[in-house]
Amino acid sequence: MRVLLVDDHTLFRQGLRTLLEKHGAFQVVGEAEDGRRGVTLVEELHPDIVVMDIAMKELNGIEATRQIRSRFPNTQVVMLSMHLLESYVRQALEAGAAGYLLKSAAGSELVAALESVRNGGSYFSAPVSRMIVEGYLETSKAATAEKLSVLTPREREVLQLIAEGNSYKEIASALKISPKTVGQHRDRLMQKLHCRRTAELVKFALREGVTPDSE
């Protein structure tokens, strides 16, 4: 596996080279101290993977990753940074990085990350993975809250009762309204939630926890 190291700290690069070259599967084909030089070396050396720092002069690692992934799609990039910041992780992923490791990671973890990425996978340090999952959950909760916020209390009641399999007549009886009014509520629910069929309303309610599933 041909590896290019891009980091602005010479001693750190030397340590990485020593670590990787002790492992028979890796060949460090070059080093660069900034992102601009890193992009140039990718063009010249055609490495399989670039181990990329983020905070560097001339051209930062995220922009360098974006250029590499755009121009040389066969070369993968693994970010190696001291920063556990959501904005850095998000930008790195958007730029096309296949992995994100913290510099506090053990050498064995870097080896595992490179092997995973080389085999078509991805790899993230445990704290980074937790951050990604927590960010996704928060975004999902916010999106659900936003969707439900457009519904009136009565519409939320009707949505739950529909999802629980009640007929218009049963819903009308439970809420002391007419079946016609139930139908009007259903029509507004479908419009607000961008659903075309009652079945889609049921799926939305189950997915977003409006009503418990059969389990």
* Domains of the chain, earliest start first: 2-125 (3.40.50.2300), 150-207 (1.10.10.10)
pLDDT for 171-209, tens place per residue? 999 999 999 999 999 999 999 988 888 888 888 887 776
**50 touches 75 (CB < 8 A):** yes
Answer positive or negative: Cα dihedral of 109, 102, 138, 196: negative
Q: pTM, whole model, 2 decimals?
A: 0.63
Q: Determine which helix (DSSP H) or strand (DSSP E) holds 130, and give its type and residue range.
A: helix 126-149
**Taking the CA atoms of the chain, what radius of gyration do you get in angstroms?**
26
pLDDT for 71-120, tens place per residue? 999 999 999 988 787 778 888 888 999 999 988 888 899 999 999 999 89
Average pLDDT value for residue range 148-177: 89
**158 touches 182 (CB < 8 A):** yes
Amino acid at 197: R
